[in-house]
Copies of this chain bind each other. A is one copy, B any other.
Amino acid sequence: MIIARVVGSAVSTIKVDRLRGAKLLVLRQATPGDEVFGDHFVAVDAVGAGEGELVLVARGSAGRHTPLTEGQPVDAVIMAILDSLEIEGSISFRKS
């Protein structure tokens, strides 16, 4: 999984039917210290994540292994909201 921060959202009226109701969030990969980097990408939210939150994103077929996304044409899902990260004995991130 990658560490990523929710930075926005996407709106789409014309989409594959199976996606009705899916919440599409825009993210960027993040360091364990919550610094974003890399290209923006879109994932389906399976956990009620909000903008600014640091989350874990599972990509590939993993994206369809949640009750919300089963059978959907999605390749990325937010499957956890991070409370904290510990790197080499120090807390690098704690949710405020």
Task: Count the copies.
Answer: 5
Q: How large is the interface on A (under 10, 10 to 19, 20 to 34, 35 or more residues)?
A: 35 or more
Query: In chain B, what residue has the closest Cβ to A44?
Result: B1
The residues of B that contact A40 with a CB separation of less than 8 Å are 3, 31-32, 87
Give chain A interface residues in 26-60, CB to chain B under 8 Å.
26, 29, 31-32, 39-43, 46-48, 51, 56, 58-60
**A74, B92: Cβ atoms under 8 Å?**
no
**A58, B75: Cβ atoms under 8 Å?**
yes
**B12, A81: Cβ atoms under 8 Å?**
yes
The answer for the CA separation of A31 and B73 in the assembled complex, in Å, is 21
Contact of A75 among B29, B60, B66, B67 (CB under 8 A): B60
